[in-house]
A and B are shown apart, each in its own frame.
Chain A
Amino acid sequence: MKRQGIAEALRDGIAEELERDPAVFCIGEDIAVPGGWGGAFTVTLGLEKRFPGRMIDTPIAELGFFGIATGAALMGMRPIADVQYGDFLFLASDQIINNAAKMRYMSGGTCKVPLVMRAPIGATGRGSQHAQSMERYFTGVPGLKVVAVSNAYDAKGMLKSAVRDDNPVLIFEHKLLYGSKGARAESGAVDATSDIPDDDYVIPLDRAAVRRTGADVTILGWLLMAHFALNAAEQLATAGVEAEVIDVRSLSPVDYETIGQSVRKTGRVVIVEEGPKTGGVAAEIAAGIMEHCGQHLQAPIVRVASADVPVPFTPALENLYRPDPARIVAGVRQVLQG
């Protein structure tokens, strides 16, 4: 057992999968440059020394190398492709959505694409093009699995599941949760360290996690918002409100079994999303809850999300843009009155 942050846990997870299966390799920009950073957030730092030939640095060509990763996966390899910033997924999206996600269906089930994609997201003082919440653009794509990891334990376990899955899996990570060190440390970082077992373990890609139990209200969040939701729940507890906090974690498919159990107990739901409210994942989850267990709701679902604007730069506006614990508390108050 050791205490690790997400970047370290992912690094170990990737290394262990590289050791376990010769079909696994990593591909991306600046991931394996000696003297470099190990990717934008140090996740692959030093792996090029241990796995020569299997850590492939690419030109700045997201469309190209996501297509290359997809093609390699079709031929039986198990690539782990990453982008430096999730925003760059738009460049790669033709290959991800038109090829990786659809190949199996178009082939009538005769080919498979065991591809892992990793993408950091989150508003972190970088303005509009290095900070978007990208989940919404990929959760409705049939053929893709989409997960979001909010702590080191999940990051390692879900990465391993993704590598061993025969489908394309997109893993969203949050820049404020990596725990990257040294020159790549992130200001405003939030502690997402976990105790990591020494033995191999995996976490399913289709299960939400109950982070805190409570009977009064269910708060759903993921990535940074799962942490903020827990913070809000602690504040609410001092006022006598017991919130159940669920880290949705699996964004596609969504685990309505775990969510439904909570909704049946509390009857009240707040969904927290970093990213603009309109067209977000929270809208999909709200509709899913209506379909799965809407009859148990005692009040209309409340969404706490970012403003419907591009991500602003100045910290003053960024903090207004993104939900924080205080706004989550206000959302809970609203749903309790409903």
Chain B
Amino acid sequence: MSTTTTLRSKAAPAAFKREFLLELHRRMILIREFEERVKFLFLEGTMPGTIHQCQGQEASAVGVCAALAGDDFITSTFRGHGHALAKGLTAQEMMDELFGARTGCCRGKGGSMHMGNMSKGMVPAIAIVGGGIPLAAGMALAFKMKPTKQVAACFFGDGAVAEGAFHEGVNMSALWNLPVVFVCENNLYGASTHISKVMKDTRVSARAASYGFRGETVDGNDVLAVYQAAVTAVADCRAGRGPVLLELLTYRRTGHSRRDPCHYQPKGERDEWFDRDPLVRFARVLVERHGFAAAELDAVKSSVDAEIVAAVEHAKSAPQPTQEELSEDVYA
């Protein structure tokens, strides 16, 4: 029931297999490149809708999802592309969705803010701030009642902590020891408002103790630290010692949405966080501590780029839903 506020140290080099490390790297690159391409397509005007992007927050999505099994479920938010890619959705099914195609993961009915794929353990993302918190608690309640060993991981931002849904969902999860990992991606801003303007105590993880369960603050830009914290949290949940609140400290490199130039982020703060970019840091760790060659990492980026180029190419000409599909899927 303690709250650990110190940041976790990096894992010992020998603890991980090369394939695993490379996969973490690949997933983060995939998210970054996917988001960069989406941004271009949106600004170019070829992609419909609005976008909320997660450049800079890749390590939290990848680190947490790497600790989950395929049949574990996540809930996500309006900023959910990274979570979806980390949970195993393909760039293709997501790009199709973003272009509104009937081949998209939600047949063009979800869009950027509601990415999901039930067969891959992701319910459609919930774009109402905090709305996924009670929902994830309920998913975890189902796992406990059935019973199964599944775990729910619930992603939300620091902004959601002010919602009543946070209090209600977290309280009942604690009360019933539900197998749910609450993952607060604390990127310091709810839209344009700094966390210090909405919380007296800005240490989100400290709230867990007041509900009677364990909270922990982790360097959210260190993918291995996130992964290790998530492994422990998931194990606790599977052993009936849930829930756990993980506060992952991170930073959004792009605007809240659309063309937001982030003028509210002070330059010094941006520079400081940009220096802690999760991709750059992990690449350095891979080369300096795990003996990867720079060329190996470059090859990952090339293959990811090719995958995304192909996905865009396909998505742009993928079939759009028809008149009949407008009124399908309202009822089961």
Contacts and interface: CB of A to CB of B under 8 A. Distances in A.
A73 B118 CA distance: 13
Contacts of B138: 67-75, 79
Contacts of B255: none
User: 6 nearest interchain CB pairs?
Assistant: A71-B138, A67-B134, A64-B168, A108-B107, A109-B329, A68-B138
Contact of A64 (B137, B139, B329, B332): B137
A67 B114 CA distance: 17
A98 B137 contact: no
Interface stretch (B16-24, B35-43, B121-129, B263-271): B121-129
Contact of B118 (A64, A107, A114, A166): A107
Interface size class of B (residues with CB under 8 A): 35 or more
14 contacts: A53-B145, A61-B171, A61-B172, A63-B164, A64-B169, A64-B172, A67-B131, A69-B138, A71-B152, A77-B142, A106-B110, A108-B104, A108-B105, A112-B332
B332 A110 contact: no
B323 to A, nearest CB: 16
B168 A105 contact: no
Contacts of A71: 134-142, 152
Contact of B109 (A25, A70, A76, A108): A108
Interface string B173-187: 001000000000000
B231 interface: no
Given A68-B135, A109-B329, 19 more contacts: A61-B167, A61-B172, A63-B165, A67-B131, A68-B134, A68-B169, A72-B142, A73-B138, A75-B143, A77-B145, A77-B146, A99-B128, A104-B329, A105-B109, A106-B110, A107-B124, A108-B106, A110-B116, A111-B118
Contacts, number: 150
Contacts of A104: 329-332
Contacts of A70: 134-135, 138
B145 A110 contact: no
Contacts of A85: none
Contacts of A109: 107, 328-329, 332
Nearest to A108: B107
B133 interface: yes
Contact of A106 (B73, B119, B124, B139): B124
Nearest to B109: A108
Interface residues of A, number: 43
A109 to B, nearest CB: 3
A36 interface: no
